[in-house]
Amino acid sequence: MMRLRRLQTVVVCVLALGLVLMTGSAMESLHAQSPTVVRYWLWLDDPTEPMFDQLVKEFNATHSGVRVEYQLVPLSEYHDKLVTALAAGSGPDAGRFKDWWLGEFVKPNALEPLANSISKWSGRGDVIENLWETGKITAAGPVYMMPHQFITFYLYYRKDWFSQAGLKPPATFEEFLTAAKKLTDPAKNQYGFGLRGGAGGQDQWLAFMVAGGARLVDAQGKIIVNNADGVKANQWYIDLFRVHKVAPPSAPTDAYAQVLGAFQSDNTAMFAHHVGSSVLVTQKLGAANVGVISIPAADPKKPATMATMAGNVVFAASKQKEAAFTFISWLSETAPMDKWSGSRQGQLPVLKSVAKLPRYTENIFFKVSLDGANYAIAWPPLPGVGYVSAQAWQANMQRALLGQISSKDMLDEIAKALQR
């Protein structure tokens, strides 16, 4: 009797132990299976388009160890919300990013250098070579931002008005001014060029500045925007409004909606922008009436335009850096890249494989943009660029356009702001 009871006890204990062990290992494997959550922030141009949602679902389905949760933030609030969240220690793991902000986020070490991860990434050879520079602070330093979508500035013009006036699309500053003057008629509320002095106008201003021979920084990274070349190019730009009056009187505070609206409602003959608006512009005016050409240059032998990059970054405070990099590098692979660039959110693809697709080579807007990429100049990665692009440029450009300060004064202020 005793022996049987003891046997029963032993069996029960062994079973219990076995159960505990099994449970333990089951829990362990469960833990190993629960995916790493990567929190990703972005802005989208058109939130009704399901493209990004589909991309995330696809990624989550094909990467079992990682799950991406994204938050959509309106672009106008993106920077501020990011600053607040990071300052509070609640930032995302990765996020979409603009080259304007690179300097001011790298300075306090808020972004993770990606050099190591990139060297192990299979897709790195497919990225257009010089676009890596947009994510670097110094030429020899590490890359902080994965290139994703970029744009170069070009010039839209009204083909119908140009042919009616017997003008050919302008290739030099001189031709540009002549055409603008010819097509300006204040009595009919019609102007040659939709100069953008309001919010966001700093990009097209930079395009004309570099096309005019000015540079923000020299090869060593020293700020030279307020040198003689800069003052001259800036003065030319200001004179378009003040002296030649080829821009509408509302130009100083015109932002994107206004310059686009003016072009669409037959108020202006030309305006500078990029491929992001090509669909909107041709939709309203018809492809036959809209022409596109590279930004004219002061010296036709030295063309230049401006480029800006929207890329992806991993934040230094993230605890899931590897998983985060897996996601953002996946976004820059051929198929996801093509899907993004081909959607309504699309801008220029950064991959050689995608840029070769007929969808892009056969579209005149993409073609002119990609041609411009060869000599495009971006904002330098200085910490003050964020401030300049958000307020300092606007306030000073407007004062210069209104004659309150001189071209040199304006550039001095900008030089000061760039150093922050």
Partner 1 sequence: MRSPRRYSAKASRGNGRGRRWLLPLFLLSPALVLLLGIVAYPIARAIWLSFHRLEILRPDLSQYVGLDNYRALLQDSVMRIALQNSAVWVAGVVLFQLLGGLVGALILNQRFPGRAVVRGLALIPWATPSVLVALMWTWMLDGNYGLINDLLVKVGILSRFQPWLAQPWSALPAVILADVWQGIPFFAVMLLAALQAIPEDLFEAARIDGASPWRVFRHVTLPLLLPTILITTMLRMIWTANYMDLIMIMTGGGPGYSSLTIPLHAYYTAYKRLDFGYGSTIAIVQVAILAGAIVFYLRQLRRNEVMVQ
Partner 2 sequence: MSRRPLRRLFVAVKLWLPLGAWLTFVLAPYAWMFITSIKPPEELYTKSVRYWPSQPTLEGYRLLVETTPFLTYMRNSGIVATSTCIIALAVAMAAAYCFSRLSFRGKGVLLFGFLITQLFPSVLLVLPLFLIMRSLGILNTPPALILAHSTFAVPFSTWMLTGFFNAIPRELDEAATIDGCSRLQTFRYVLLPLSAPGVAAALTYIFIYSWNEFIYALTFTADLRARTLPVGLQTFMGEFIIRWDLLTAGGVITALPIVFFFMLVQRQLIAGLTAGAVKG
The residues of the shown chain that bind partner 1, judged by CB under 8 A, are 79-80, 83, 86-87, 104-105, 107-110, 186, 189, 197-199, 248-255, 257-258, 261-262, 265, 267, 386-387, 390-391, 394-396, 398-399, 401-402, 404, 420
Query: Alpha carbon 379 to chain centroid distance?
Result: 11
Partner in contact with 164, chosen from partner 2, partner 1, none, beta carbon below 5 to 8 Å by kind: none
CB neighbour burial string for 175-192, b if at least 16 within 10 angstroms, e if fewer:
ebbebbebbbeeeeebbb
Residue 48 vs 119, nearer CB to partner 2: 48
3-state secondary structure of 155: strand
Of 41 and 59, the one with the shorter C-beta distance to partner 1 is 41
- Name residue 94's beta-bridge partners: 40, 314
Q: Can you tell me which of 25, 163, 164, 283 binds partner 2, judged by CB under 8 A?
A: 283
**Interstrand relation of 94-98 and 36-42 (parallel, antiparallel or unpaired):** parallel
The alpha carbon of residue 45 and the mean position of all alpha carbons in its chain are separated, in whole angstroms, by 12
What is the footprint of partner 2 within residues 243-282 (CB under 8 A)? 256-257, 260-262, 264-267, 273, 276-277, 280
Which of the listed partners (partner 1, partner 2, none) does 104 bind, with a CB threshold of 5 to 8 Å by partner kind?
Answer: partner 1
Q: Is 287 in the site for partner 2 (CB under 8 A)?
A: no
- For residue 44, state whether it binds partner 2 (rule: CB under 8 A): yes
Is-contact 306 376, C-beta < 8 A?
Answer: yes
With CB cut-offs between 5 and 8 Å by kind, which of partner 2, partner 1, none does residue 86 bind?
Answer: partner 1
Closer residue to partner 1 in complex, CB, 22/402: 402
Cα→Cα distances 205→13, 150, 209, 221, 322, Å: 80, 17, 6, 20, 38
**Residues for the chain: how many in total?**
420
Q: Which does 277 bind (CB under 5 to 8 A by kind): partner 2, partner 1, none?
A: partner 2
Do residues 103 and 111 touch, judged by C-beta distance below 8 A?
Answer: no
Task: Provide the minimum distance between the beta carbon of 105 and partner 1 in the complex, in angstroms, as a whole number.
Answer: 7
**Closer CB to partner 2, 185 or 299, in the complex:** 185
Among 8, 21, 34, 77, binds partner 2 (CB under 8 A): 77
Q: Which does 46 bind (CB under 5 to 8 A by kind): partner 1, partner 2, none?
A: partner 2
Residues 6+ apart with CB under 8 A from 199: 255, 256, 394
| Residue 90: φ, ψ to 5° | -120, 35
Interface mask (CB under 8 A) for partner 2, residues 319-348, using x and -?
A: -------------------------xx---
Q: What's the burial of 244, exposed, middle or buried (CB within 10 Å: 0-12/13-18/19+)?
A: middle
φ, ψ at 224 (rounded to 5°): -125, 15
The closest alpha carbon to 210, from 372, 414, 413, 376, belongs to 376
Asked whether position 391 contacts partner 2 by CB under 8 A, the answer is no
72 binding partner 2? (CB under 8 A): yes
Please report whether residue 46 would count as binding partner 2 according to CB under 8 A: yes
Residues that bind partner 2 (CB under 8 A): 43-48, 71-72, 74-77, 81, 84-85, 87-88, 90, 256-257, 260-262, 264-267, 273, 276-277, 280, 283-284, 344-345
